[in-house]
Structure 1
Amino acid sequence: MSWATRKRVLTPLSSSRWAGSLTKATHDQWALARRSQLAHIGQLEAGIGMIRDRLSQPVGAKGTRKAPGGYRSKHEWFVKSRRLGVLEDRLATARADGEAGIVRVVRGGKRLLHTRHHLQAAQTDEARWRERWEAERWFCQADGESGKRFGNETIRVAPDGEVSIKLPAPLAALANAPRGRYVPLGRARFAHRGSEWAGRVEADRAVAYRIHYDVQRGRWYLTASWQIPPAPAVPLTAALANGVIGVDMNADHLAAWRLDTHGNPDGRPRRFPYDLTGSTAHRDAQVRHALTRLLHWAQAQGVHAIAVEDLDFTTEKTREKYGRKRRFRQLVSGMPTSRLRSRLTSMADACGITVIAVDPAYTSRWGAQHWQKPLSSQTRKTTRHDAAAVAIGRRAQGHPIRRRTAPPPHHRSDGAGHRTVQAGPDVPGREEPRRRVPGPRTRSVPPGRGANAGDQRSQDRSGNAAEHESWRQDPLPLSP
């Protein structure tokens, strides 16, 4: 049944607004489950393709950088062949559900559902769990409507914080305010972006609200949300006018370093840690706190641009890609790349800071190779992540990651080290391989090589045809 059909069925029993609100909540949940199902099918297909490719290769065959080789032993080959059958069964089941339009939705979350079977480990009892389970369904929400009073006709919040709810016809007897509205006790107060919310409410611009109950704190919460218009694009030269801050994302912290307009590190590196253990709300709060500190530091430094890596581990954290590297898989899975990217984009836009996404290829390796040792001293140890932040910032500015070359030695020999001369930034093709210079590059050229290889007679070489001719010296005259 489509969303519009369900709304029309429910409208006579309540009202058009409440029917749209109730059906939209379930429709959004179904759409999220549908997207997760499609992503799960894609991961299964990728894993099956990887296992089949490795099973087709001989045992012990070496792989390349882009494709892994065969399995190491016969036992591993046998275990992976069994796993291939398991994944194929899961894929067949997921495809059947997708074609039939069946999704699995747990109102309240799968983790809370599994807690019912492990009450002792969760240090709770059935009554408390039941209270949390039912409270997950105690919510109501309504989308905003531009032009209506205070931006919402169903759930209305006045600028002074008074909340009033438009009751449907079957619940009209519970109204305690004119025009069939219910005004609960207490007033709402928005500590975050309260002035922006007040400006929208006074202008009758659309504001969506959601009311839910927190069992652990015993409070009702009112959440307001609205759509922010997209920020205008800022020219790259204007964003980089005061330098840039390179940020390296890691599993437990953000490593940042400020760079001036010439790509040189300025000041000391900064680290913004966060803890991604615990509940979803705790992890989200940790990410927001770290990003808030980063943005405040950027504003204090007068920098209007932050450079980050365009990371995406959606299809890169499967077991079949990294094999036995379990700790590395856990590290990659623990990095909140999508959450950090979305949060940083929205929060930086509110602060007037531009976010520049750069290519993440070899930033950590080249940063450690060219910047970690030069930036370290006896009193300061530069980490690999700090050096990667410098590499990210230089790439955002358009500078090469390599450091400025050393001056030429006092002579042409290699006594002072090899020359590392780089082309200037205005030379086209400076990052390309060096062109092949025709002719020999060493003093000893084998026969058949060089500019004069065809004329051996004109050169003083062993094997010259002139050396094999018979000749006789004329006698010197003894008298005039």
Structure 2
Amino acid sequence: MSLRAWRERWQAARMFLTADGESGKRCGNETIRVTESGELSIRLPAALTHLANAPHGRYVLDAGVVFTHRAAGWRDRIAADRAVAYRIHHDTLRGRWYVTASWQRAVAPAPSLRTALARGVVAVDMNHDHLAAWHLDTHGNPVGEPRRFPYDLSGGMRHRDAQIRHALTRLLHYAHRTGASAIAVEELDFTQGRTREAYGGNKRFRRLISRFPTARLRARLVSMAAERNVAVVAVDPAYTSRWGAQHWQKPLTTPTRRTTRHDAAAVAIGRRALGHPIRRRTAPPPHDRRDRAGHRTVQAGTRIPGREGARPRPTGPRTRSVPAGGGAKAGDQRAQHRSGHAAERAP
């Protein structure tokens, strides 16, 4: 770079004009005003009022202003005279002047979990190089095909941040196409102290965890989803990958679709967000082996009263006797499994 080019860039970096917005003023800013038609005017200080070319000590620029990104939101704010901050700066590489508008979003009330999951959920399994997503309906069944949104975390900070934003943008577009109003993710917490304590001897895994942008992905997803009125549901990450691969990877694999372990984990995350159990009961043996026949695979709904009680006894004479205490054991299916729901028992 020549000395002249360096000096031009140095001066351009320090030649800017900025002004915070003011609610109640015309177009949301009294110092730098941009009207809906694109007219840009600046209110000059008292020492420069002799240079004004408009009433009330204002200077109107000949060039017009056009906003292409979030122009509808900016237009709504200036129409209601809500605060908008502007910054005017010069780009020496392109030889152009730019006007940047910014404002603060009001905190929107969070919807209830039942309202957010009324149209299903898009479950996401976060990995170090891609996002595995699958749309689930309200009953916890996968709909359509799984999707994968890759990103590359090599390079500088700006490159990694751009990759994350691009992957999350594609994820939000996918959620909009499916009609779901909620995204389910794992509540991961990879801190340095916990990682070294649990995986101190595995340097490869520690290096992998250090490259995983957990906090950045979560912060970006929450802020970007709020702009599109999409709720983010965080679930417990315990055993989602293991149970997903054990109970959902093989049933969801077809001759034309290869379900990966990450896709099955996304299904497990979505079912947990919807309040459904992850693990499935194994199919019973054939009827020719009645002595070893298991339970039925059909499970009662979560809102059916008495679903954990004893099954009704069939009417008529019984061909086999019931051992002592058998009826009491059958009436309490939770007694022998302290860790969770009876439907969550391992086969």
Name the TM-score class by shorter chain. Answer: 0.7 to 0.9
1:142 aligns with 2:19: yes
Letter in 2 for 1:434: H
Q: In 2, distance between residues paired with 1:313 and 1:422?
A: 38
1:353 aligned to which of 230, 249, 252: 230
Q: In 2, distance between residues paired with 1:270 and 1:137?
A: 46
Q: In 2, distance between residues paired with 1:158 and 1:430?
A: 69
Q: In 2, distance between residues paired with 1:434 and 1:318?
A: 31
Does the CA-based 8 Å contact 1:423-1:430 persist in structure 2? no
SS of residue in 2 equivalent to 1:343: helix
Match of 1:222 in 2: 99
Change in CA separation of 1:408 and 1:171 when aligned onto 2, cut-off 3 Å: farther
The answer for unaligned runs of 5 or more in structure 2 is: 310-331, 339-347
Change in CA separation of 1:388 and 1:126 when aligned onto 2, cut-off 3 Å: farther
What does 1:51-450 correspond to in 2, within 5 Å?
135-169=12-46, 172=49, 175-278=52-155, 280-315=157-192, 322-323=199-200, 325-407=202-284, 410=287, 411=289, 425=302, 427=308, 434=337
* Deviation per residue, 1:180-237 (Å, 9 max, x gap): 4344452222212212211211221111223334444343332222222222332322
SS of residue in 2 equivalent to 1:372: coil
Deviation at 1:269, TM superposition (A): 0.1
Deviation at 1:311, TM superposition (A): 2.8
**More off after superposition, 291-300 vs 212-221:** 212-221
Q: In 2, distance between residues paired with 1:169 and 1:232?
A: 44
The answer for unaligned runs of 5 or more in structure 1 is: 1-123, 436-480
Structure with bigger strand share is 2
What does 1:3-18 correspond to in 2, within 5 Å?
none
Change in CA separation of 1:134 and 1:186 when aligned onto 2, cut-off 3 Å: same
SS of residue in 2 equivalent to 1:390: helix
**More off after superposition, 258-267 vs 404-413:** 404-413
Q: In 1, distance between residues paired with 2:47 and 2:202?
A: 60
SS of residue in 2 equivalent to 1:267: strand
* Deviation per residue, 1:456-476 (Å, 9 max, x gap): xxxxxxxxxxxxxxxxxxxxx
Q: In 2, distance between residues paired with 1:128 and 1:317?
A: 50
SS of residue in 2 equivalent to 1:179: coil
Change in CA separation of 1:267 and 1:149 when aligned onto 2, cut-off 3 Å: same
* Deviation per residue, 1:433-455 (Å, 9 max, x gap): 626xxxxxxxxxxxxxxxxxxxx
What does 1:41-60 correspond to in 2, within 5 Å?
none
Higher gyration radius (CA):
1
Deviation at 1:246, TM superposition (A): 0.3
TM-score with structure 1 length normalisation? Answer: 0.56
Identity, % of aligned positions: 65
Q: In 2, distance between residues paired with 1:326 and 1:172?
A: 67
With a CA cutoff of 8 Å and minimum separation of 6, indicate the structure with the bigger relative contact order.
2
Does the CA-based 8 Å contact 1:152-1:206 persist in structure 2? yes
Change in CA separation of 1:221 and 1:266 when aligned onto 2, cut-off 3 Å: same
Structure with bigger helix share is 1
